[in-house]
């Protein structure tokens, strides 16, 4: 019991001085000679001898005369680490608020990059937002040799217009701007300016409006004889582009984000182990 109490007294006495704790941490990395310890600490021989004497129970020498931690020294450095971990609340010594903030920022940027990359890789689809009632016309007679307006729709970006017709004979159907129609409606000849041209006794046209500079006109050229319109009409709906992210991409995103969060939670122990490994390697190289 006396031996145990003396040992505990020696350990706690050794740990209370910062220079002695530095010596223990240095020897935890790798064994060192007297001169190497003195040069690393930048202290005189008398002061180093004093501290080494207080560390006697925690140190030992190998066959090459290098100091290293004894079993009690290993226990002492372990105790020191656990006390510092508890004080910092992070699970490893040397954890700083600056490091945690930096790695937290890196994690946040990683999550943002994953989200942006996933969004840019996703396919774009068109989603119907608001539909309009179908408008039907029919049983109308149009005289020959003329360009006749069937319906006018003002272009609002994000509008899809669908037009269909059924006539008693083949006709020419045009999609024109309002200016084109007005300039050619009294010519009595097929128009030479238009946006789209369709021919048939019946058909279907779909126009997606993407500009605010054009007012669309659906027009019919009757030719040299009158046309009996059996039916024509319009349906219109708004649309918007929608990104479609498939399930595989979502799973990958979730895994990347969880990995980033997990690494941030463990960043201090990981950084501490890396620092120890690098310090040992540098110390070995210096020898």
Query: Of the candidates 193, 259, 255, 250, which has an alpha carbon nearest to the alpha carbon of residue 221?
Result: 193
What is the per-residue pLDDT for 185? Answer: 92
Express each pLDDT in 69-101 by its tens digit. 888 888 788 777 776 665 555 444 444 556 666
- What is the Cα–Cα distance from 245 to 114, expressed in whole angstroms? 13
What is the per-residue pLDDT for 220? Answer: 94
What is the per-residue pLDDT for 94? Answer: 47
Pick out the chain residues at pLDDT < 70: 1-7, 83-101, 103-104, 118-119, 121-133, 239-250, 260-287
Answer with the one of 88, 113, 141 that is the final residue of a domain. Answer: 88
Answer with the one of 208, 226, 242 that is the final residue of a domain. Answer: 242
- What is the Cα–Cα distance from 8 to 257, expressed in whole angstroms? 47
Query: Of the candidates 177, 129, 136, which has an alpha carbon nearest to the alpha carbon of residue 155?
Result: 177
Express each pLDDT in 208-237 by its tens digit. 887 777 888 999 999 888 999 998 888 877
What is the per-residue pLDDT for 204? Answer: 92
What is the per-residue pLDDT for 116? Answer: 75
Q: The domain spanning residue 132 has which CATH number? A: 2.60.120
What is the per-residue pLDDT for 246? Answer: 65
Kindly state whether residues 59 and 102 are assigned to the same domain. Answer: no
What is the per-residue pLDDT for 241? Answer: 63
Kindly state whether residues 170 and 206 are assigned to the same domain. Answer: yes
Kindly state whether residues 135 and 54 are assigned to the same domain. Answer: no
Kindly state whether residues 24 and 65 are assigned to the same domain. Answer: yes
Kindly state whether residues 29 and 72 are assigned to the same domain. Answer: yes
As for how many domains the chain has, the answer is 3
Q: The domain spanning residue 27 has which CATH number? A: 1.10.10.10
Kindly state whether residues 169 and 213 are assigned to the same domain. Answer: yes
Do residues 194 and 131 touch, judged by C-beta distance below 8 A?
no
What is the per-residue pLDDT for 64? Answer: 85
Kindly state whether residues 249 and 238 are assigned to the same domain. Answer: no
pTM: predicted TM-score of the whole model, two decimal places: 0.43
Domain residues for the domain of 71 are 2-88
Burial bucket for residue 68 (CB in 10 Å: 0-12, 13-18, 19+): middle
CA distances from 148 to 105, 140, 143, 165, 222 (A): 65, 12, 9, 14, 8
Do residues 207 and 161 touch, judged by C-beta distance below 8 A?
yes
What is the per-residue pLDDT for 40? Answer: 87
């Amino acid at each position: 019991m006396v031996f145990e109490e003396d040992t505990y007294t020696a350990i706690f006495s050794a740990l209370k001085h910062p220079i002695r704790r530095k010596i223990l941490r240095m020897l935890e990395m790798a064994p060192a000679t007297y001169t190497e310890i003195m040069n690393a600490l930048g202290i005189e021989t008398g002061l180093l001898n004093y501290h080494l004497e207080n560390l006697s129970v925690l140190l030992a020498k190998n066959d090459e005369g290098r100091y290293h931690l004894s079993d009690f020294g290993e226990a002492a450095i372990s105790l020191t680490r656990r006390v510092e971990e508890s004080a910092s609340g992070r699970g490893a010594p040397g954890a700083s608020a600056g490091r945690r903030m930096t790695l937290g920022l890196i994690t946040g940027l990683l999550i943002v990059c994953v989200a942006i990359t996933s969004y840019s890789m996703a396919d774009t689809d068109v989603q119907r937002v608001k539909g309009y009632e179908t408008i039907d016309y029919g049983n109308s007679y149009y005289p020959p040799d003329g360009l006749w307006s069937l319906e006018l729709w003002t272009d609002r970006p994000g509008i899809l217009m669908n037009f269909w017709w059924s006539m008693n004979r083949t006709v020419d159907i045009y999609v024109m701007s309002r200016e084109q129609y007005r300039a050619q409606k009294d010519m009595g000849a097929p128009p030479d300016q238009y946006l789209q041209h369709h021919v048939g006794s019946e058909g279907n046209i779909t126009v997606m409006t993407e500009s605010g500079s054009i007012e669309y006109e659906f027009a019919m050229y009757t030719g040299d004889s009158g046309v009996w319109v059996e039916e024509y009409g319009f349906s219109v709906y708004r649309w918007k582009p929608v990104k479609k992210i498939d399930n595989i991409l979502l799973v990958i995103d979730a895994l990347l984000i969880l990995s980033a969060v997990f690494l941030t939670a463990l960043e201090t122990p990981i950084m501490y182990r890396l620092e120890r490994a690098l310090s040992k390697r540098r110390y070995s190289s210096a020898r």
